[in-house]
DNA sequence: CCGAAAGCATAGCCATTGCTATGAATTTCC
DNA sequence: GGAAATTCATAGCAATGGCTATGCTTTCGG
């Protein structure tokens, strides 16, 4: 059986322990399952803040996907208790939705500003942050935040 | 119609232009479609380097998914021309597979070391890098690389 | 050399995320 | 006030990524 111990310890053990390895992949898969929800509620919140309302059409235009794709996702968000839908009047966030949106937007902001602060261009920071944000854990986020506060941040606030 | 111009310019225009916004989301969706392939070929390459061979069973154990999940994915990788499968003898990378693996591993290493260099713990860096890596574009990667080379890197090499 | 164990393949299921095509409801504007 | 345009809903399809259950092959230990 030999439960513990490496199989073939060669030159440099470039590979970490299997149980440790699997932990990273599991966490990444978990993050992937919540990415879209985070982007939606954050976008809805932004649209409301920016223009007073969030319409399905606006979401469609900003995400760059087809309208039924958004419609289906919104149904899921209603089911999960993040939004309320009033036909032809817009999308509204529930308390849970507002909380998730606030958390997501804050994390997004920090990640993007961190990228700017470390020297990434505005465009690349904007694009990369949209994907990176969902995989930044609490500890990393606080490190990023401290870095941004310590060094100058890219542009605003 | 009014094709150009903001709808309601309120206090701070927290929202970027729609076409600009959609670009980020599109890129993120594109990245998501290649994440798994990158992780697989990188892992296969690591397993071969570490133990001389990459077996389906090893991949199963390291990814933490069920065996048929890996079997299906490997079939896809064969189809896409990244690997070759010899039953009961292991998985082998094609030239395309080796190239993708090398690129992915290098990017992964840089991202993880960058996180360490900026002050993230070993465990958090390991976990977060597994997800972040796939969303780091060329420019951001070179910035990270320069940072690691300038400042001390977390641990090895 | 042969039976058990390990490794792998396959079938069939489900959830998610995207699409097109189409139709219904609501607003808007003349 | 009604026709046209917008907005939204729904049906149906496909690809991806996961699962369990099951059975076939190959390898290995005795
Ligand atoms: Mn975001
Ligand atoms: Mn995002
Ligand atoms: Mn990787
Ligand atoms: Mn990864």
Q: What is the CATH number of the domain that holds B57?
A: 1.10.10.10
Q: Residues of A numbered 55-74 whose beta carbons fall under 8 angstroms of chain B's beta carbons: which are they?
A: 61-64
For an interface test with A, give the residue of B13, B107, B139 to mutate (most A CBs within 10 A). B139
Quick one: residue B84, left, alpha or beta (phi over 0 = left, psi -120 to 50 = alpha)? Answer: beta
Closest by alpha carbon to B130, among B42, B21, B1? B42
B129 & B142 share domain: yes
Mean per-residue pLDDT, A66-84: 98
Question: Mean pLDDT over residues B60-78, rounded?
Answer: 97
| Dihedral sign for Cα atoms in the order A134, A138, A139, A144 | positive
**Domain-terminating residue out of A97, A114, A133:** A97
Do both B22 and B88 map to the same domain?
Answer: yes
Please tell me the pTM assigned to this model.
0.91
Q: From the CA of B131, how far away is ligand 2's center (Å)?
A: 13
- Whether A93 and A112 map to the same domain: the answer is no
* H or E segment and range at residue A93: strand A90-93
Distance CA B14, CA B9 (A): 10
**Which residues from B are below 8 Å from A135, CB to CB?**
128, 130-132, 135
Q: E strands, chain B, where?
A: 83-86, 90-93
- pLDDT over 50 at A5, yes or no: no
Q: Does residue B86 approach strand D to less than 7 Å at its CB?
A: no
Separation of A16 CA and C19 C1' (Å) = 41
Q: Which domain holds residue B113?
A: 101-151
Domain identity same for B22 and B89: yes
Average of per-residue pLDDT across A55-64: 97
Q: Is the pLDDT of residue A10 over 50?
A: no
Looking at the 3D structure of chain B, how many domains does it have?
2
Query: Could you check: is the Cβ of residue A31 within 7 Å of any atom of nucleic acid strand D?
Result: no
Residue from A31, A128, A18, A141 nearest B121 by CA = A141
Quickly state the pLDDT bin for B15 (edges 50, 70, 90).
confident
Tens digits of per-residue pLDDT, A107-138? 999 999 999 999 999 999 999 999 999 999 99
Indicate the DSSP class of residue A80: T
Q: In this structure, is residue A7 part of a structural domain?
A: no
From the list A15, A52, A127, the residue facing B46 with the nearest CB is: A15
Residue A85, in any domain of the structure: yes
User: What is the separation of C-alpha B104 from the centre of its chain, rounded to a whole number of angstroms?
Assistant: 6
In this prediction, residues B55-75 reach a mean pLDDT of: 97
pLDDT (0 to 100) of residue B156: 57
């Amino acid at each position: 059986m030999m439960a513990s111990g490496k199989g073939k310890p060669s030159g440099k053990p470039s590979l970490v322990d299997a149980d440790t390895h699997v932990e990273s992949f599991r966490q990444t898969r978990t993050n992937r399952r919540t990415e879209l929800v985070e982007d939606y509620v954050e976008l809805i919140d932004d649209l409301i803040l920016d223009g007073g309302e969030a319409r399905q059409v606006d979401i469609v235009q900003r995400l760059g996907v087809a309208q039924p794709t958004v419609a289906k996702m919104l149904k899921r968000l209603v089911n999960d208790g993040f939004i309320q839908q009033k036909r032809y009047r817009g999308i509204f966030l529930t308390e849970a939705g507002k909380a998730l949106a606030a958390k997501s937007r804050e994390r997004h902001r920090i990640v993007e500003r961190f990228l700017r602060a470390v020297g990434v261009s505005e465009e690349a920071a904007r694009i990369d942050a949209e994907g990176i944000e969902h995989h930044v854990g609490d500890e990393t986020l606080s490190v990023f935040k401290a870095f941004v506060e310590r060094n100058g941040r890219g542009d605003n606030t």
